[in-house]
Amino acid sequence: MSGSDPAVRAAELRDLLNRASIAYYVDDAPVMDDAAYDALYDELVALETEHPALVTPDSPTQRIGAPLSDRFQKVRHLSPMGSLDKVTTDEAIVKWAADVRKRLGPAAEEGDEPVAFVLEPKIDGSAINLVYENGVFVRGATRGDGVQGEDVTPNLRTIKSIPLRMNGDAPPLVEVRGEVYIPLSGFRAFNERLAAEGKPPAPNPRNASAGSLRQKDSGITAQRPLSLWAYGIGVREGLDQLATHWDTLQWLRARGFPTNPFAQRVESVDEVAEACRAWELRRTELDYEIDGIVIKVDSFDQQARLGALHERPRWARAFKWAPMTAKTRLNRIAIRVGRTGALNPWALLEPVEVGGVTISRATLHNEEDINRKDIREGDDVIVQRAGDVIPQIVGPAGRHRPGTKPFVMPTHCPLCGTKVVKPEGEVMHRCPNRACPSRGLESLNNWVMAAADIDGVGEQTVRRLWDLGLVRSIPELYRLTPEQLMELEGFGKISARNAVEAIAASKVVPFSRVLFGLNIPDVGWVTGQTLARHFGDVDRLMNASQEELQEVEGIGPERAEALAEWFRDEDNRRLVAELRDLGLRFVTGEEERPREGPLTGRTYVITGTLERYPREEAKAALEARGAKVSDSVSSKTAGVIVGEDPGASKLKKAEKAGVPLLTEAELVALLDD
């Protein structure tokens, strides 16, 4: 406290809270926990309530609570917000860069005047313009037609990543340009809330962010998970020292604006094209949607010399990809019985192009998820594709069509007719018949496509072999001959021989992957690795008691009982013996044994989406330093690494067991140490 002067204390609180927000939303390095922030915030609210004259435009308390707006007034931008011409191929990038050098003159064409470029992910959100006077946020507007937009200042004030006052020294006047967006984790939670309220889902994060900005009640906007990436400035009085776009990004970040951490400066057009191609593959690693890469000439002097044509700058281009969502008709919900007997519903769609790929089917998870989203056969739906994975249905696209009905899971297995069961506490319906034809077929598909990853033998080949009765088990796959394969249409002498050789070569897959492919209940990639490392060979594993199995990291009583029961079954023991006789590996190899390192003896769990690392890279980095990575939390866990949208059950278990929660920044520090 600073004496008893309310004005001095209010100023201190504003400064502390604004700095805390920047540390949290911009630097990703919180300086206080939520409880401490809330206590300071409540103190400031009390002061301003008692002394209304102390309220300032940059006070954190002014983010929420503006009166309802009857309409949005048009406001003219101080400088135009031009749109960008797009390019979609490497050739177009090269042609544009050549035109840039030509317009800059002979020195640039001959390489004597360097031309550098800045690349930034193109956020699929809503462009906005923020006006600051002497460092204080005074007005914000949508892009509109580029000359004037809608004044949405009260709504923008609710976005905590937008500073109400700049850090450090500030110019008399500056326009900050940025993109308001909704993170994918927040978008999922937002759509779940809409579904719970009986409302149709937002088709994509871009529509959701645009709609959130145009709410007449800023209190509603405040409930939406909006965030900001700042990407440039317009009018800038007193900022003559900024000579490049790259310098501008650093200046914005120093003033408390979040700028994209993946922005990069390159000095050749080859690097530009390479980065655009790389980001098309990497874009699904991000927790926000990008629909391309913005490419800008870095030098402001060169930008000025290049100018613009019809408000479209010659010094910038948007390299764009195909959209990742689309609207189509859900023709039918089909059921596929998996290798564990689970009934998996999936959607047969009217073919539609999503992200450059034609989609005709999508996953639907389970009955509970389908009815929560109110997805029905015959409806128009929003389908979303992330990377190369099977697309998902977000929800219905508008009102239900006449005659559609809520989905009901069948009461009997569609393949064998056995009555379906739904175990207590599970969301999946299951066929309890261990002799159900689906189990053998799906187990084979899992072995070929995932566990052994056999080149030249795909799901369609396995199904044809199954239908002809040539292969009905994993051992029969390894006894397959080229002559048998040549009975299948599409296989000649050479292709059949190559496929049989690829099958034989897969015998060297590690012990952990063999365990994953055996169709053991609840044994996936991670558990297979854990069991292989703990026991070392299949004999020790098969003869382990339930108590010994529970000693394995991440194996509780129920999983231990299921494992012990599986290995006691005579059919399963014969399967293991048969595969071992065929030459498959049932002993831990050198590549699977734990590495010695500074983290030897520690076990970590990763939950949520990490920004810097894909999950497998983080896991590999920890294991390279001797650590184990588990998929379940126990009292033996050294730490739970928490990313965006973490699993609530894992956090709850960690809290109950007293296991430390680590941020991604702490993971980086751990790996560096």
Q: Is the pLDDT assigned to residue 69 strictly greater than 50?
A: no
Q: Is the pLDDT assigned to residue 493 strictly greater than 80?
A: yes
Backbone angles phi, psi at 387, to 5 degrees: 70, -140
| Mean pLDDT for the stretch of residues 345-357 | 82
Instruction: Give the per-residue pLDDT at 158.
Output: 92
160 classed as catalytic: no
Of 18-27, 122-131, 385-394, the least confident: 385-394
Of 65-79, 95-109, 543-557, the least confident: 65-79
Q: Is the pLDDT assigned to residue 612 strictly greater than 80?
A: no
| Mean pLDDT for the stretch of residues 305-325 | 83
Q: Is the pLDDT assigned to residue 618 strictly greater than 60?
A: yes
Cβ distance 155 to 212 under 8 Å?
yes
Q: Is 179 left (phi over 0), alpha (psi -120 to 50) or beta?
A: beta
Q: Is 153 left (phi over 0), alpha (psi -120 to 50) or beta?
A: alpha
- Dmax (CA) of the chain: 93
Averaged confidence pLDDT in the chain: 84
Q: Which of 271-275, 380-384, 634-638 has the highest mean pLDDT?
A: 271-275
pLDDT in tens, 239-284: 888 999 999 999 999 999 999 999 999 999 999 999 988 887 777 7
Closest CA to 266 of 245, 248, 282, 291: 245
Cβ distance 496 to 485 under 8 Å?
yes
Q: Angle between the 557-568 and 570-581 helix axes, to the nearest 10 degrees?
A: 70
Looking at per-residue confidence, does 425 or 517 come out higher?
517
Residue 106 binned pLDDT confidence (cut-offs 50, 70, 90):
very high
* Residue tagged active-site, from 122, 619, 650, 653: 122
Q: Could you give the CA distance from residue 648 to residue 285 in angstroms, rounded to a whole number?
A: 21
| Mean pLDDT for the stretch of residues 342-368 | 83
Residue 228 binned pLDDT confidence (cut-offs 50, 70, 90):
very high
Residue 74 binned pLDDT confidence (cut-offs 50, 70, 90):
confident
Instruction: Give the per-residue pLDDT at 323.
Output: 63
Instruction: Give the per-residue pLDDT at 254.
Output: 93
Residue 63 binned pLDDT confidence (cut-offs 50, 70, 90):
low
Instruction: Give the per-residue pLDDT at 172.
Output: 94
Residue 27 binned pLDDT confidence (cut-offs 50, 70, 90):
low
β-bridge pairing 357-363 and 343-354: antiparallel
Instruction: Give the per-residue pLDDT at 388.
Output: 41
Of 266-275, 598-607, 647-656, the least confident: 647-656
pLDDT in tens, 449-467: 778 878 778 888 888 888 8
Residue 26 binned pLDDT confidence (cut-offs 50, 70, 90):
low
Q: Is 443 left (phi over 0), alpha (psi -120 to 50) or beta?
A: alpha
Q: Is the pLDDT assigned to residue 342 strictly greater than 90?
A: no
Of 295-299, 341-345, 613-617, the least confident: 613-617
Name the DSSP class of 419: B
Looking at per-residue confidence, does 206 or 606 come out higher?
606
Looking at per-residue confidence, does 228 or 62 come out higher?
228
Q: Is the pLDDT assigned to residue 592 strictly greater than 70?
A: no
How many C-beta atoms surround the C-beta of residue 381 within 10 A? 26
Q: Is the pLDDT assigned to residue 544 strictly greater than 80?
A: yes
Residue 66 binned pLDDT confidence (cut-offs 50, 70, 90):
very low
| Mean pLDDT for the stretch of residues 502-515 | 90
Q: Which residues of 603-613 are buried (b: 16+ CB within 10 A; e: fewer)?
A: bbbbbbbbeeb
Residue 53 binned pLDDT confidence (cut-offs 50, 70, 90):
confident
Residue 67 binned pLDDT confidence (cut-offs 50, 70, 90):
very low
Q: Is the pLDDT assigned to residue 304 strictly greater than 90?
A: yes
Burial class (CB in 10 A: 0-12, 13-18, 19+), 94: middle
Closest CA to 77 of 140, 133, 134, 127: 140
**% pLDDT > 70, the chain:** 91
Instruction: Give the per-residue pLDDT at 68.
Output: 41
Q: Is the pLDDT assigned to residue 4 strictly greater than 80?
A: no
**% pLDDT > 90, the chain:** 31
Closest CA to 410 of 436, 429, 438: 429
| Mean pLDDT for the stretch of residues 43-71 | 72
Q: Is the pLDDT assigned to residue 534 strictly greater than 70?
A: yes
| Mean pLDDT for the stretch of residues 479-499 | 88
Looking at per-residue confidence, does 127 or 424 come out higher?
127
Q: Could you give the CA distance from residue 270 to residue 640 in angstroms, rounded to a whole number?
A: 41
Q: What is the pTM of this model?
A: 0.50
Looking at per-residue confidence, does 225 or 384 come out higher?
225
Residue 127 binned pLDDT confidence (cut-offs 50, 70, 90):
very high
